[in-house]
C-alpha cells in the first residue's frame, strides 16, 4: 500500500468552540520502532476530545499546533512493526491512540504502538469498530477490573445510554451483576434490551428515592448536572464503591467520598490491546454490541463535536474518514 507524504486531517490551532477544528493538510506520521502505520477509515468522538478542543481535558499537554485529536480508529495496516509480525499490511485493525502523546485519528493516517492494535472482527464494519475502543475499554476497566462485576452485586450505572454507559451496562450484566441504569425515557426499553434489570428515567424520578443498598456506582455524570455524584453517595451500602470518570466533573470528589464513609476512585483508560482483544471476541460473538447514533464525514467534524456536546447521544458518534 503506497504511503503519501501528506494527509487530510482535522486540525486544531488553539482552544475554542467546535468551529476551531478545520480540515487541512498535515504530514503523514512516521512509523518508529514497534509501531503500526494505519490508514484510518473511521474514528469517533469522545467527551474527552470535546473537552480538550475547548481547552480542558488534556489540552495542557499539547505543545505543538496544529494538533490532531481523536483517540479511536479502525482502518487498514500500511506498515507493520517488522516483517514477520502476525498482523500484516492490508489487515483490518482497530484500537486507540493516546493523544496528545501521538497524533490523533481525525486524520487519514495514524501511527500507533503495536500493543494498542488488534484485529478488527470481520462481523463489524469499520464504523462500528471505530465506535468501540475508548468507550468499551473505559467501561471494562471500571466494571470488570475495578468493580469486579459478579453475580449478586448491585450496580448503579449513570448515563447508561451513552457511549461508555451502554458498554458498562452490557459488561456488568454479562458478568451477572444486577444492573440499575439511569437514562432518559426514550432509552428505557433499549437499556433493558442491553441487560439492565431496572431502568430509572431521570427526567421523572429521583434515583435516590427508589434505589438503595447499591454495592457500586459507575458515575459517568459527576456533579455537572443536578449534583448526581453527591446524590449517589446516599444510595451506596456502607463501605460501597463509587467510580467517577468524567474529567473535572466532581471537584472535591475524594473529600466527599471520605466524609460519607465510602470508597471511591477515579479512572483513566489505557490503550490495552490484550483487553481490547477480549472485547473484540465478545463483539464478534454478539454477546456485546456497539450502537452508533450518528455518522459524520471528516469535513463535518465540528458538527460531530456539537452532537457529542449536546449530551443526548445514544451510544457513539462516529467520523467517517475514508472509504473502506
Query: Which of 223, 251, 266 marks a domain boundary?
Result: 266
221 and 169 in a common domain: yes
- Give SS3 for 178: strand
User: Residue 125: which of 8, 284, 273 has the closest Cα?
Assistant: 284
314 and 248 in a common domain: no
In a domain, 271, yes or no: no
92 and 161 in a common domain: no
Q: Show the DSSP H helices in 54-202 as ranges.
A: 126-130, 133-140, 163-174, 188-194
- Which domain range does residue 159 map to? 135-266
In a domain, 117, yes or no: yes
Give the angle 309-310-312 at the CA atoms, nearest 5°: 120
Give residue 212's Cα distance to chain centre: 28
In a domain, 274, yes or no: no
155 and 100 in a common domain: no
pLDDT per residue as tens, the chain (324 positions): 668 999 999 999 999 999 999 999 999 999 999 999 999 999 999 999 999 999 999 999 999 999 999 999 999 999 999 999 999 999 999 999 999 999 999 999 999 999 999 999 999 999 999 999 999 999 999 999 999 999 999 999 999 999 999 999 999 999 999 999 999 999 999 999 999 999 999 999 999 999 999 999 999 999 988 999 999 999 999 999 999 999 889 999 999 999 999 999 999 999 999 999 999 999 999 999 999 999 999 999 999 999 999 988 999 999 999 987
The domain total for the chain is 2
Q: How many helices (H) and strands (E) does the chain have?
A: 10, 15
Per-residue cell: 287: 454477546
123 and 157 in a common domain: no
142 and 259 in a common domain: yes
For 197-216, letters b (16+ CB in 10 Å) and e give: ebbbebeeeebeeebeebbb
157 and 57 in a common domain: no
CATH number, position 99 = 3.90.180.10
Whole-angstrom Cα distance, residue 219 to residue 226? 13
End-to-end CA distance of the chain: 14
In a domain, 281, yes or no: no
124 and 51 in a common domain: yes
In a domain, 22, yes or no: yes
Rounded to 10 deg, the angle between the 133-140 and 273-285 helix axes is 100
Query: Which of 266, 281, 298 marks a domain boundary?
Result: 266
Measured CA to CA in angstroms, residue 252 lies from 153, 246, 255 at distances of 27, 14, 5
CATH number, position 211 = 3.40.50.720
Whole-angstrom Cα distance, residue 52 to residue 59? 5
261 and 140 in a common domain: yes
User: Residue 320: which of 70, 57, 30 has the closest Cα?
Assistant: 70
308 and 230 in a common domain: no
Can you give the three-state secondary structure of 206-228, one letter per residue? CHHHHCCCEEEEEECCCCCCCCH
73 and 39 in a common domain: yes
216 and 180 in a common domain: yes
The enclosing H or E element of 26 equals strand 21-27
Amino acid at each position: 500500500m503506497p504511503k503519501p507524504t501528506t494527509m487530510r486531517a482535522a486540525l486544531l490551532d488553539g482552544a475554542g468552540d467546535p468551529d476551531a477544528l478545520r480540515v487541512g493538510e498535515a504530514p503523514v506520521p512516521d512509523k518508529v520502532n514497534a509501531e503500526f502505520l494505519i490508514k484510518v477509515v473511521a474514528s469517533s468522538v469522545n467527551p474527552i476530545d470535546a473537552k480538550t478542543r475547548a481547552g480542558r481535558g488534556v489540552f495542557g499537554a499539547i505543545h505543538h499546533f496544529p494538533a490532531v485529536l481523536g483517540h479511536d480508529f479502525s482502518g487498514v495496516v500500511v506498515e507493520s512493526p517488522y516483517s514477520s509480525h502476525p498482523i500484516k499490511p492490508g489487515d483490518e485493525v482497530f484500537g486507540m491512540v493516546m493523544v496528545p502523546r501521538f497524533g490523533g485519528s481525525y486524520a487519514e493516517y495514524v501511527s500507533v504502538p503495536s500493543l494498542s492494535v488488534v484485529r478488527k472482527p470481520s462481523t463489524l464494519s469499520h464504523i462500528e469498530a471505530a465506535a468501540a475502543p475508548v468507550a468499551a475499554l473505559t467501561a471494562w476497566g471500571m466494571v470488570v477490573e475495578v468493580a469486579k462485576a459478579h453475580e449478586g452485586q448491585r450496580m448503579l450505572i449513570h448515563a447508561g445510554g451513552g457511549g461508555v454507559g451502554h458498554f458498562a451496562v452490557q459488561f456488568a450484566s454479562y458478568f451477572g451483576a444486577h444492573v440499575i441504569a439511569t437514562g432518559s425515557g426514550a432509552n428505557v426499553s433499549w437499556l433493558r434490551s442491553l441487560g439492565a434489570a431496572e431502568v430509572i428515567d431521570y427526567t421523572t424520578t429521583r434515583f435516590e428515592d427508589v434505589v438503595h443498598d447499591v454495592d457500586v456506582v459507575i458515575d459517568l455524570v459527576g456533579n455537572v448536572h443536578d449534583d448526581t455524584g453527591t446524590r449517589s453517595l446516599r444510595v451506596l451500602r456502607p463501605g460501597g464503591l463509587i467510580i467517577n470518570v468524567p474529567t473535572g466533573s466532581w471537584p472535591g470528589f475524594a473529600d466527599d467520598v471520605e466524609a460519607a464513609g465510602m470508597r471511591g476512585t477515579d479512572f483513566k483508560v489505557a490503550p490495552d490491546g490484550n483487553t481490547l482483544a477480549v472485547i473484540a471476541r465478545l463483539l464478534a460473538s454478539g454477546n456485546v454490541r456497539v450502537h452508533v447514533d450518528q455518522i459524520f464525514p471528516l469535513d463535518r467534524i465540528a458538527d460531530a463535536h456539537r452532537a457529542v456536546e449536546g449530551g443526548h447521544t445514544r451510544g457513539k458518534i462516529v467520523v467517517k474518514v475514508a472509504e473502506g
